[in-house]
A and B are shown apart, each in its own frame.
Chain A
Amino acid sequence: MNRISCKVGEVELNSPIILASGTCNFGHELSEFYDLSILGGISSKGLTVKPRQGNPGVRVAETACGMLNSVGLQNPGVDYFIENDLDYMNTLGCKVIVNVAGHSFEDYIEMVRKLNKYADKIDALEINLSCPNVKAGCMSVGSDASQVKEIVSLMRKETKLPLWIKLTPNVTDIKEIALAAQEGGADAVVMINTLLGMVIDIKTRRPILRNNTGGYSGPAVKPVAIRMVAECSNVLNIPIIGCGGIMSYEDVVEFMIAGASAVEIGTGSLVHPALPVEITADLEKYCEDNDINLSDLTGTLQLW
């Protein structure tokens, strides 16, 4: 066992680093930069029942310490994915996580049923209850605890695959939502998806994003994510995958201390495609220097 390996429930990862959905497509592009087998896993672009072309441009707005996007789940659809990308993801040498985003309960169930037939090629399903850039499903479901519990329990009946529920931070009390996911039968929660935001062009007095609002990500959101992981770590029995603004090994360590069993890197890859290579090497050195296994840190936060 290497010092940075970890477990998310039954899923064993040789590194805590997972590429976040929507920031790595299906792995083809980043394979041009580094060997993805160093990763713990890769989470696919969020899939829908039918192909989606997403929102019109402009879809990105930069901020001082991050960016907003309003892609709107552009993806080739679950059938195309199964036929064209799933086998490729299985050649990458890391765990394959398939991200599922529906517009309705029926959508989620239909996709889980379809993907369940390929369970031998999938290590976990990540259920997107948090995309802020689409009108139906996703965040509108994920910000209502009773709907979260209901949809998760419906999916639980359909599959034995690990169900990781990706949560939105755009709620008053994320603990309530995370507990609802746990009660519905989730195997883990992933937090956080992006924060809903807006950037205005002062010359035109219009939002820069054609969709008006978008999801805010990058280092600026990390303290929000850390706070939410720490809050949920106290009340959940299921593991947490931490996500939000990771740019260095110290950020990974911080998430682990807050209560994460593994982490996702998203926006960091957009700025520096080979960032996970650097972080992996730094984490190994950190564990060596401190003579610890990284997973020993999970949930060791001591509050004042």
Chain B
Amino acid sequence: MADYKKEYEAVIVKREMLNDDTAYITVKCPDIANSAMPGQFVNISCSKFLKRPFGIADVDTVNGTFNIGVKVVGKGTKEIAAFDEGKVVTVLGPLGNGFDFEALRGKKLILVAGGTGVFPIHFASSYCKANNIEYKLVQGFRNASQVIMSDDDVILTTDAGDAGIHGNCCNGLDTIDEEFVKEAVLCCVGPLPMMRACGNWATSKGIKSFVSMEQRMACGVGICLVCVCKVKAEANGEEFKHVRCCKEGPVFPFEEVIW
């Protein structure tokens, strides 16, 4: 198959296992590496009927590669997490709207990650480093054995309390200096209850927040309308409207989402 606009044949150049069920994969695709923004995702082919969506975890524009994290949740992700180096896959991307760094210019960032949200948030933190944006990073995991993509600068929390702060992401957020918080915007990717709690935390501090919504997807490019997120309707008399996670999202302002 030839390359089309936004649809590429790409090679898996590296794969490492971060823990028993999570792989970190490097894919060679200069067009995606050069144009992707944090919060965007790619769709990757496997032997199943539909492609699988993954948040972009990092890019290397020098080598023309991007990274994804693959947690095994079903047969498709099991297969992708085991892809050999050298395997050629079909990739669509970059897809969706990520975090709007243009609109966030001049702000400090509070990045919060839970579950597989550590991957897109990792891209956001490396983007901040590369562009001299001040940020704090909070990660939440169930227990110490689940901790991945972490380092000494991270405000680490675990539900079990066997690593970092004992508690959830909000307990981690509470440790951030008030002065920093006042000038910050919060960007959060993780399970729904965690994103909701973090969004409410931001609202209680009087700052804006953005969340990355997830829903079962088919096409990933906005044509099938299956991956909808319920958001507040504009003033047209409707109670809500369905928007596409893959096209209008996955990143939405927290206050627009109906939880």
A→B interface (CB under 8 Å)? 22-25, 29-30, 32-34, 45, 51, 53-54, 56-67, 69, 71, 74, 218, 269-274, 277-278
State whether B5 touches A23 (Cβ < 8 A): no
B181 in the interface (beta carbon within 8 A) = no
Question: Residue B218 contacts which of A56, A67, A272, A274 (CB distance < 8 angstroms)?
Answer: A67
Question: Given A25-B223, A62-B49, is A54 in contact with B218 using a C-beta cutoff of 8 Å?
Answer: no
A284→B11 CA distance, assembly (Å): 30
A269→B225 CA distance, assembly (Å): 13
The 4 A-B pairs at the shortest CB distance, nearest first, are namely A60-B226, A270-B219, A274-B4, A59-B226
Scan B210-245; emit 1 where CB is below 8 A from any A CB, else 0: 000001111101111111101000000010111000
| A contact residues around B62 at 8 Å (CB) | none
Query: Measured between C-beta atoms, what is the minimum distance from B195 to chain A in Å?
Result: 16
**Extra 13 A-B pairs, beta carbons < 8 Å, given A23-B224, A57-B226, A59-B226:** A25-B223, A33-B7, A53-B238, A54-B242, A58-B215, A60-B217, A60-B218, A62-B50, A65-B49, A66-B49, A271-B49, A272-B90, A273-B6
A34→B49 CA distance, assembly (Å): 22
A64→B6 CA distance, assembly (Å): 26
Query: Measured between C-beta atoms, what is the minimum distance from A158 to chain B in Å?
Result: 29
Query: Measured between C-beta atoms, what is the minimum distance from B123 to chain A in Å?
Result: 22
State whether B247 touches A29 (Cβ < 8 A): yes
Query: Measured between C-beta atoms, what is the minimum distance from B45 to chain A in Å?
Result: 9
A23→B221 CA distance, assembly (Å): 11
State whether B50 touches A67 (Cβ < 8 A): yes
Query: Measured between C-beta atoms, what is the minimum distance from B231 to chain A in Å?
Result: 10
Question: Residue A29 contacts which of B222, B226, B241, B242 (CB distance < 8 angstroms)?
Answer: B222
| B contact residues around A64 at 8 Å (CB) | 49
B92 in the interface (beta carbon within 8 A) = yes
B15 in the interface (beta carbon within 8 A) = no
A271→B220 CA distance, assembly (Å): 9
State whether A24 touches B49 (Cβ < 8 A): no
B48 in the interface (beta carbon within 8 A) = yes
B1 in the interface (beta carbon within 8 A) = yes
| B contact residues around A51 at 8 Å (CB) | 238
Question: Given A63-B49, A66-B49, A270-B224, is A53 in contact with B242 using a C-beta cutoff of 8 Å?
Answer: yes
Interchain Cβ contacts under 8 Å between A and B, 26 examples: A22-B225, A23-B219, A23-B223, A24-B223, A25-B222, A32-B221, A33-B7, A53-B242, A57-B215, A59-B225, A60-B227, A62-B48, A62-B50, A64-B49, A67-B49, A69-B226, A71-B225, A74-B228, A269-B223, A270-B218, A270-B224, A271-B49, A273-B4, A274-B5, A277-B4, A278-B1
B136 in the interface (beta carbon within 8 A) = no
State whether A59 touches B7 (Cβ < 8 A): no
* Minimal Cβ-Cβ distance residue in A for B75: A62
State whether A57 touches B49 (Cβ < 8 A): no
B→A interface (CB under 8 Å)? 1, 4-7, 48-51, 90, 92, 215-219, 221-228, 230, 238, 240-242, 247
| A contact residues around B50 at 8 Å (CB) | 62, 67, 270-271
| A contact residues around B218 at 8 Å (CB) | 60, 62, 67, 69, 270
| A contact residues around B238 at 8 Å (CB) | 51, 53
A63→B50 CA distance, assembly (Å): 9
A30→B224 CA distance, assembly (Å): 11
* Minimal Cβ-Cβ distance residue in A for B1: A278
A60→B48 CA distance, assembly (Å): 14
Query: Measured between C-beta atoms, what is the minimum distance from B210 to chain A in Å?
Result: 21
State whether A71 touches B226 (Cβ < 8 A): yes
A271→B48 CA distance, assembly (Å): 10
Question: Residue B5 contacts which of A22, A32, A67 (CB distance < 8 angstroms)?
Answer: A32
* Minimal Cβ-Cβ distance residue in A for B219: A270
Question: Given A57-B216, A62-B48, is A34 in contact with B223 using a C-beta cutoff of 8 Å?
Answer: no
| A contact residues around B241 at 8 Å (CB) | 53
Which of B238, B241, B242 is the most central at the interface, judged by chain A CB atoms within 10 Å of its CB? B242
State whether B7 touches A54 (Cβ < 8 A): no
Question: Given A53-B242, A64-B49, is A74 in contact with B215 using a C-beta cutoff of 8 Å?
Answer: no
| A contact residues around B1 at 8 Å (CB) | 278
Query: Measured between C-beta atoms, what is the minimum distance from A140 to chain B in Å?
Result: 22
A63→B221 CA distance, assembly (Å): 20
Query: Measured between C-beta atoms, what is the minimum distance from B249 to chain A in Å?
Result: 13
Query: Measured between C-beta atoms, what is the minimum distance from A77 to chain B in Å?
Result: 11
| B contact residues around A218 at 8 Å (CB) | 49
A33→B5 CA distance, assembly (Å): 5
A23→B247 CA distance, assembly (Å): 14
| B contact residues around A54 at 8 Å (CB) | 225, 228, 242
A283→B226 CA distance, assembly (Å): 31
| B contact residues around A269 at 8 Å (CB) | 219, 223
